[in-house]
């Protein structure tokens, strides 16, 4: 819980990781390139006083995670969203067992989401069933640019991905977090394209699709599909820290999201350990749209409360104290539209 100026904010950090990118776990040069890319994001977007040494960044461990999130970070509940990256790291990037054990020991504080790769075919489906029986998760994180043998990516509307979504339905896995990454085949097309989310969300209306990084760097494509599909949500991982270095850009991101998809489908996350939640929460509660950006209304306290926790709490049935709950807003002006009208305004 975070309190400021007499207001109380229930905080759900909807995207966190417990990763191991230490050299002994790196399988090849790509393991180093991957964590170095993350670290450059961290260096580029963090305030100087929040900067971690490179060594700390490689691995945090359970104790530090608990301290950064719950002791220092105001977080009431956090959700693991693991990336496997088995082609880059010997024992994977996200540490399944350590994260799951931590969540099992702290169920009121932590939710463990799992991951799958549809390119594992039938064997992967068996594994998903077995993993679900053991860990009982409600959500999965999919990284569509994951490398897998000869393949460097897949789409959500691939036939095998649909098989996995059908299995999710049967198992009661409701929430699908999607991270679009930069390499996908065929290379003829834009790798960040989110149109496959559109298809999957239309065909699986009973699943929630949370597009991480709100589709950045393709915010416009994300907004357009999310506005047509009521089961598509936006996760603010990586978008949040722009508040510090590029506040006008952040204002436009949040202004566009509220315009297109409304305040009830946007979820805060620190993307821990890319960044720590404390400074992001403090900055967001203080944040306001610059006055000269007359195309956007000022952010309200209620909107901030929903984004910082209430929206994700609702999706994950996380109990919120009665006095902190807020009803949904009316539909946005853009409203849900039918997919056949999706060409309108296409430019």
Partner 1 sequence: MTQVQTRPAPQAGLPGRDDIRRALGAVQDPELDEPITDLGFVRSIDVAPAARGAAVSVHLRLPTSFCSPNFAYLMASDSKDAIAVLPGVDTVTVELDDHHDSDLINAGLAADAGYRGTFGHEAEESLEELRWTFRRKAHTAAMERCLTELLRADRGLAESDVGQVRLADLPAGRTKDAFLRRREALGLPLDSAAAVLVDHLGNSYPADAVPMALRRARSTRISIDGNAHFCRGLLRTRYEGSGADQTARPEGAEPGESHTLLPITVKENA
**3-state SS of the chain?**
CEEECCEEECCEEEEECCEECCHHHECCHHHHHHHHHHHHHHHHHCCHHHCCCHHHHHECHHHHHHHHHHHCCCCCEEEECCCCCCCCECCCCECHHHHHHHHHHCCCCEEECECCCHHHHHHHHHHHHHHHHHHCCCEEEEECCCCECCECCCCCCCHHHHHHHHHHHHHCCCEEEEECCCCCCCCCCCCCCCHHHHHHHHHCCCCEEEEHHHHCCCHHHHHHHHHHCCCEEEECCCCCCHHHHCHHHHHHHHHHHHHHCCCCCEECCCCECCCCHHHHHHHHHHCCCCCCCCCCCCCCHHHHHHHHHHHHHHHCCCCCCHHHCCCCCCCCCCCCCCHHHCCCCCC
The CA distance from 42 to 241, in Å, is 9
φ, ψ (nearest 5 deg) of residue 7: -105, 140
CB of 210 to partner 1, least distance (A): 19
Chain positions 213 to 242 lying near partner 1, rule: CB under 8 A, are 216-220, 223-224, 242
Q: Does 41 bind partner 1 (CB under 8 A)?
A: yes
Identified binder of partner 1 from the candidate list 98, 158, 167, 190, rule CB under 8 A:
190
Q: How far is the CB of 220 from partner 1 (least distance, A)?
A: 4
Which range, of 10-18, 189-197, 276-284, 299-307, touches partner 1 by CB under 8 A? Answer: 189-197
Select 2 or 260, whichever has its Cβ closest to partner 1: 260
Residue 291 interacts with partner 1 (CB under 8 A)?
A: no
Stretch that binds partner 1, among 6-14, 30-38, 105-113, 229-237 (CB under 8 A): 30-38
Closest CA to 332 of 220, 256, 252: 256
Q: Per rule CB under 8 A, is residue 93 in the interface with partner 1?
A: no
- Looking at residue 84, what DSSP letter applies? -
Residue from 105, 187, 297, 301 touching partner 1 (CB under 8 A): that is: 187
191 binds partner 1, rule: CB under 8 A: yes
Is the CB of 136 or the CB of 247 nearer to partner 1? 247
Given a contact cutoff of 8 angstroms between Cβ atoms, the answer to whether 288 and 250 are in contact is: no
Q: How far is the CB of 182 from partner 1 (least distance, A)?
A: 5
Q: How far is the CB of 267 from partner 1 (least distance, A)?
A: 19
Q: Which of 12, 17, 21, 253 binds partner 1 (CB under 8 A)?
A: 253
Site string (43-62) toward partner 1, x via CB under 8 A: xx-x-x--x-xx--------
For partner 1 (CB under 8 A), the number of binding residues is 54
Considering the complex, state which of residue 51 and residue 297 has its C-beta at the smaller distance from partner 1. 51
Quick one: 3 or 54, whose CB is closer to partner 1?
A: 54
Should residue 173 be labelled a site residue for partner 1 when binding is judged by CB under 8 A? no
Stretch that binds partner 1, among 37-45, 93-101, 133-141, 304-312 (CB under 8 A): 37-45
Instruction: Verify binding: residue 1, partner 1, rule CB under 8 A.
Output: no
Closest distance between partner 1 and the C-beta of residue 331, in Å?
A: 15
The residue ranges that bind partner 1 (CB under 8 A) are: 29-30, 33-34, 36-37, 40-41, 43-44, 46, 48, 51, 53-54, 150, 152, 181-183, 185-192, 216-220, 223-224, 242, 245-249, 252-253, 256, 259-260, 292, 294-295, 334, 344-347
């Amino acid at each position: 819980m975070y309190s400021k100026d007499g207001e109380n904010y229930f905080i759900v950090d909807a995207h966190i990781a417990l990763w191991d990118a230490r050299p002994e776990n790196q399988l090849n040069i790509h393991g180093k390139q991957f964590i170095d890319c993350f670290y450059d994001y961290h260096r580029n977007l963090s305030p100087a006083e929040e900067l971690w040494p490179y060594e700390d960044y490689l691995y945090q461990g359970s104790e530090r995670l608990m301290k950064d999130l719950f002791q220092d970070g105001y977080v009431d509940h956090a959700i693991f969203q693991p990336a496997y990256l088995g082609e880059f790291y010997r024992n994977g990037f996200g540490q399944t067992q350590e994260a799951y054990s931590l969540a099992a020991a702290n169920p009121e504080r932590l939710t463990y989401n799992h991951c799958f790769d549809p390119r594992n075919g039938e064997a992967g489906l068996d594994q998903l069933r077995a993993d679900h029986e053991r860990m009982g998760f409600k959500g999965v994180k999919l990284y569509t640019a994951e490398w897998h043998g000869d393949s460097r990516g897949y789409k959500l509307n691939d036939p095998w991905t649909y098989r996995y979504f059908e299995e999710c339905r049967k198992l009661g896995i409701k929430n699908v977090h999607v991270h679009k990454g930069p390499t996908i085949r065929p290379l003829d097309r834009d790798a960040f394209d989110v149109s496959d989310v559109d298809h999957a969300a239309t065909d699986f209306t009973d699943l929630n699709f949370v597009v991480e990084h709100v589709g950045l760097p393709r915010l416009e494509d994300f907004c357009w599909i999310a506005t047509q599909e009521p089961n598509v949500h936006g996760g603010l991982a990586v978008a949040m820290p722009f508040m510090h270095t590029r506040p006008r850009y952040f204002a436009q991101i949040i202004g566009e999201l509220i315009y297109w998809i409304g305040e009830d489908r946007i979820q805060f996350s620190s993307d821990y350990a890319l960044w720590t939640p404390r400074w992001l929460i403090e900055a967001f509660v203080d944040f306001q749209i610059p006055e000269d950006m007359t195309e956007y209304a000022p952010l309200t306290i209620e909107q901030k409360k929903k984004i910082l926790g209430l929206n994700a709490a609702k999706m994950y049935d996380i109990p919120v104290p009665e006095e902190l709950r807020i009803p949904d807003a009316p539909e946005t002006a853009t409203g849900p539209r039918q997919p056949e009208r999706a060409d309108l305004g296409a430019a």
